[in-house]
Structure 1
Amino acid sequence: MPLRHVVPSLLGDPAQGLVSFGERSGGEVVRLNLGSFRPFLVTHPEHLQRVLRERADNYVRAGDGLQWRPLKRLFGDGILSDGHYWTDSRHILQPLFTARRIDSLVDRLAEEIDETVAELDGPAADGRPVDMGVEQARIVCQAIMRVFFADKVSVPQAMRIMEAQDAIASSVMPRIAVPWAPLAMPMPGDRKFRRALQTINDTLLPIVRAARETAETDGDDIISTLWRSRTPDGRRLEEWQVRNDTVAMVATTTETTISALTWLWPHLEADPQVAERLREELDRVVGDAPVRRVHLKDLRYTRQVLDELLRLYPVGWLFPRRAVEEDVLGGVRIPAGSTLVVSPLITHRMSMFWDRPEVFDPDRFAPERVRTRHRYAHFPFGGGPHQCLGMHLFYLEALLIVATVLSRYRFRLRRPQLPGIKVAAALRPRNRVEVTLERVRGVAG
């Protein structure tokens, strides 16, 4: 794709411009001309399966590549890197995120979510509007910090970290857009990045260091587990890697839920039929009871709504990879050292793989339709060995939040329109979503 097509598309509406690259490619592996930087764009599910799973050893996260180099200043080497650092961290953290363990924590999460959502009764009674992005952050932070971090990170501290991560997500975009620029060269956003990074370090490093002293007697919260566990070769992690993995796990356990759900409320107001089906399911499955683990398996349509949200708004929208050795992908030679652009945002919105891709339609994820679709047509959490550890947690957490809020309240948007997409290091809503709430009578507290 020539420079004269690529650059204008990205300057106007970056999200739509990215999707247009996929449409023009027709699912073929193509090269994007960005001047001296010419990555390969990979969009077809069959090619994605090869890159992310079958040949994952050859297509690695590049520490000096398109996205990882600017973000490595935040996350460092650990669970979000590659090589032996990733292997060590994955070995320690994966047992904390197995489906069986997460399922065992659902009722604790549900109780925390129920308690925090109930604090919206005040604004509901007064008719005061609330910012759903802020409220979701508060709900998620309360539940996650208590259940997974044993209150080592307080809710105000977690909210401060969320604000800093949001600043970082936008401040690194100039470097992602100009990936060949050396880190020593000043760029727009650098000062904002440094301030946000300092906030995160000032908040988390004292917590990480204090946890070292009690790790042997503490429970299985994330920070204590990182200090106490050993790598496959018997070593303990150094302080810097515990810090890196703590920062990564705070982001992994919160960011997708907070961001993705913000788009839910405008879509429900825009499509009353979807909203009505969702409420009917909640009335039938949950009724007047508090939402608990026993209800989740029957919230099938609610799960379809979440899958459709993640199709349109995959928070992790970019998974760049670097080819270690030469390969052939879709008939195209990929030289060693090449950068590959893998983007759920693009594949999820291509008309080649989705009928009317711009339409919000949870029925796409009815079981009989999912079975006929390629596994890598929908991959909001990546795939293969690097699939996000927090995927199962997201679905349980989001189901609990949606079911608890909608069982307790009716809502009305102050501005009934869909927020635009802000392309940052992680996808963000461009506009705030403010709602007024009305308490539903008869719902148990």
Structure 2
Amino acid sequence: MSIDATAGVLRRNGTVPVHRTLSGLLRDPVNALAEMGRRAGGEIVRLRLGPLRPYLVTHPDHVQQVLRSDWTNYRREGMFWRPLRRMIGASVLGEDEPWESSRKILQPLFTRRYIDSIAGEMAGVINARVAELDEYAQAGQPIDVMEEMSRIVNRAVLRVLFGDRITREEGERLAPAYDTAATSINFRLLMPFMPYSVRVPGDRAFMKAVRTVDDVVFPVIRRARADHGDGLDVISALCRVGEEDGTGIDDRQIRDNLVSVYGAASESTAMTLTWLWPILQDHPEVAARLREEVDRVVGAGPAVPGHLPELRYTRMVLQELLRLYPAGWIFPRMATKSAEVGGVRVKAGAQVLISPYATHRLDAFWDRPLEFDPERFAPDAQERRHRYSYFPFGGGPHQCLGRHLFDVEAPLMVAAIMSRFRPEVVTAGPMTPFPAASLRPREKVMLNLVPLRSAPGVAA
């Protein structure tokens, strides 16, 4: 059955009137959808947004049907995907042949074994970039958390994607351009029925960001093609496809895949670590235990891959952070043929909205779902949960390729930062979610970095 969430009162007889839904969605769309899902108890909610009437699907059984068991009927197409296509093109984030061929090429490069093989180089990049923050710490100058987390992640992800083929200056143009694209698209995401003949807020900034990305990536692709290297980085692998029989992919396809993977791999880690520091500020007992673990395992640093198995509590904190603030907060799909989900008839062409942010807050599947509690993920305490009650990286055949990258990159970054500094948030909370392409705080988070010692290994 579908549920009407009019004025917060659930009735079993219709859809959400546009004047009620739009006000909530425009004011705080992330929490508005989550609250609808919670009040509905995981039953399907149908929204009425002008000409668009999507279905909000939050129950793990229904999520599993859409993302896994009947995934071929629910495609990454439709009005919600149209804005993104101008950036990501036809790639591993698409459907049909572009997705199939791209995933076949890219999947071997994102296995746990491969990520482990380059983890040492990633750790070196992360430690070097974190060391550069000493300048701010010594001057007592706060940092913009999102900006600095993005810069550190950017350097590490660029190593995976481009190897040594991209200059630091080129790489540093990518992060702010992609960030601009991710934030300027929110009006189109909330109002996907607006025609592209009508210019809306964010359009100009988005297209300028796309041009910047193209200006950086296409020259690097041309250099990589000319080099004919055998590197293990992603761009080398893409350039080698079909070299022997002439069936390779063109520069545009390589560009689309690089941009898609860059966004998925960098946004998850950067946005998760942006949320981390305000959460630790609000939960000093968690911060103290995390600091104790880093001190015991990493000491003065540097953080290296060999530390990862011992950073158990760090991993628990990150898992709980992904539960409450998944970077991929919404996964839109379009039904290609009529079908039933949870007893509700979903017509062909209808949009289906899946939100990990909403599902991760369902009372039926999580005790105290709105509270931050890393102990949920303690290895000896985890209760048996529905596979799709927790899916920060998606699920089914379209599950994010960057999961293993996150599992290495994120704890190394936390360890590198906390082994050098005592972070102190100076921005007043609470932080509220901003509905960009990836979940981020609406407020700018500023962080003081208090040095723990004058240099790694030397007491202050």
TM-score (norm 1): 0.94
Aligned partner of 1:286 in structure 2 is: 298
Task: Point out the more displaced range, 435-444 or 369-378.
Answer: 435-444
Given that 1:270 and 1:416 are in contact with CA atoms closer than 8 Å, whether structure 2 keeps it comes out as: no
Q: Does residue 258 of structure 2 align to residue 246 of structure 1? A: yes
Q: Which of 194, 198, 201 is the matching residue for 2:207?
A: 194
Q: Counterparts of 1:187 and 1:381 in 2: how far apart (Å)?
A: 30
Shift of 1:38: 0.8
Aligned partner of 2:47 in structure 1 is: 32
Aligned partner of 1:337 in structure 2 is: 349
User: 1:88-167 maps to which residues of 2 (within 5 A)?
Assistant: 88-167=101-180
Q: Which of 419, 424, 431 is the matching residue for 1:407?
A: 419
Task: Point out the more displaced range, 13-22 or 3-12.
Answer: 3-12
Given that 1:263 and 1:418 are in contact with CA atoms closer than 8 Å, whether structure 2 keeps it comes out as: no
Q: Counterparts of 2:310 and 2:255 in 1: how far apart (Å)?
A: 39
Shift of 1:153: 2.6
Given that 2:37 and 2:45 are in contact with CA atoms closer than 8 Å, whether structure 1 keeps it comes out as: no
Q: Counterparts of 1:169 and 1:388 in 2: how far apart (Å)?
A: 17
Q: Does residue 219 of structure 2 align to residue 206 of structure 1? A: yes
Given that 1:22 and 1:350 are in contact with CA atoms closer than 8 Å, whether structure 2 keeps it comes out as: yes
Q: Which of 304, 307, 312 is the matching residue for 2:316?
A: 304
Shift of 1:289: 4.1
Task: Point out the more displaced range, 129-138 or 79-88.
Answer: 129-138
Partner-residue secondary structure (3-state), 1:320 = strand
Structure 1 pair 417–76 and aligned structure 2 pair: CA distance change class (3 A)? same
Q: Counterparts of 2:166 and 2:102 in 1: how far apart (Å)?
A: 20
Q: Counterparts of 1:252 and 1:113 in 2: how far apart (Å)?
A: 18
Task: Point out the more displaced range, 36-45 or 184-193.
Answer: 184-193
Residue identity matched to 2:388:
Y
Partner-residue secondary structure (3-state), 2:345 = strand
Aligned partner of 1:46 in structure 2 is: 61
Q: Counterparts of 2:76 and 2:53 in 1: how far apart (Å)?
A: 17
Shift of 1:82: 0.7
Partner-residue secondary structure (3-state), 2:113 = helix
Q: Which of 29, 32, 56 is the matching residue for 1:17?
A: 32
Q: Counterparts of 2:442 and 2:169 in 1: how far apart (Å)?
A: 24
Residue identity matched to 2:394:
G
Aligned partner of 2:84 in structure 1 is: 71
Encode CA deviations 1:184-229: one digit per residue, 9 max, x unaligned: 3322222121111111111211111222111x32412111211112
Task: Point out the more displaced range, 182-191 or 66-75.
Answer: 182-191
Shift of 1:368: 4.4
Shift of 1:376: 0.9
Given that 2:161 and 2:262 are in contact with CA atoms closer than 8 Å, whether structure 1 keeps it comes out as: no
Residue identity matched to 2:34:
V
Aligned partner of 1:61 in structure 2 is: 76
Q: Does residue 281 of structure 2 align to residue 269 of structure 1? A: yes
Task: Point out the more displaced range, 28-37 or 144-153.
Answer: 144-153
Partner-residue secondary structure (3-state), 2:292 = helix
Given that 1:145 and 1:155 are in contact with CA atoms closer than 8 Å, whether structure 2 keeps it comes out as: no
Encode CA deviations 1:268-327: one digit per residue, 9 max, x unaligned: 111110011111222222233422112111211111111111112111111111122222
Q: Does residue 12 of structure 2 align to residue 2 of structure 1? A: no
Shift of 1:249: 1.9
Given that 1:145 and 1:154 are in contact with CA atoms closer than 8 Å, whether structure 2 keeps it comes out as: no
Shift of 1:440: 1.7
Shift of 1:365: 1.6
Unmatched 5+ residue regions in structure 1? none
The percentage of aligned residue pairs carrying the same residue is 47
Aligned partner of 1:84 in structure 2 is: 97
Given that 2:329 and 2:438 are in contact with CA atoms closer than 8 Å, whether structure 1 keeps it comes out as: yes
Q: Which of 433, 438, 441 is the matching residue for 2:450?
A: 438
Partner-residue secondary structure (3-state), 2:132 = helix
Structure 1 pair 43–368 and aligned structure 2 pair: CA distance change class (3 A)? farther
Q: Counterparts of 1:338 and 1:316 in 2: how far apart (Å)?
A: 21
Given that 2:16 and 2:47 are in contact with CA atoms closer than 8 Å, whether structure 1 keeps it comes out as: yes
Given that 1:108 and 1:147 are in contact with CA atoms closer than 8 Å, whether structure 2 keeps it comes out as: no
Shift of 1:405: 0.7
Q: Which of 336, 347, 360 is the matching residue for 2:359?
A: 347
Structure 1 pair 124–187 and aligned structure 2 pair: CA distance change class (3 A)? closer
Q: Counterparts of 2:315 and 2:130 in 1: how far apart (Å)?
A: 20
Residue identity matched to 1:327:
A
Shift of 1:174: 2.0
Residue identity matched to 1:11:
L
Residue identity matched to 1:378:
Y
Partner-residue secondary structure (3-state), 1:341 = strand
Encode CA deviations 1:396-445: one digit per residue, 9 max, x unaligned: 10000001111111122222534321111221221222222222238438
Given that 2:75 and 2:334 are in contact with CA atoms closer than 8 Å, whether structure 1 keeps it comes out as: yes
Residue identity matched to 1:15:
V
Q: How many residues align?
A: 441
Aligned partner of 2:441 in structure 1 is: 429
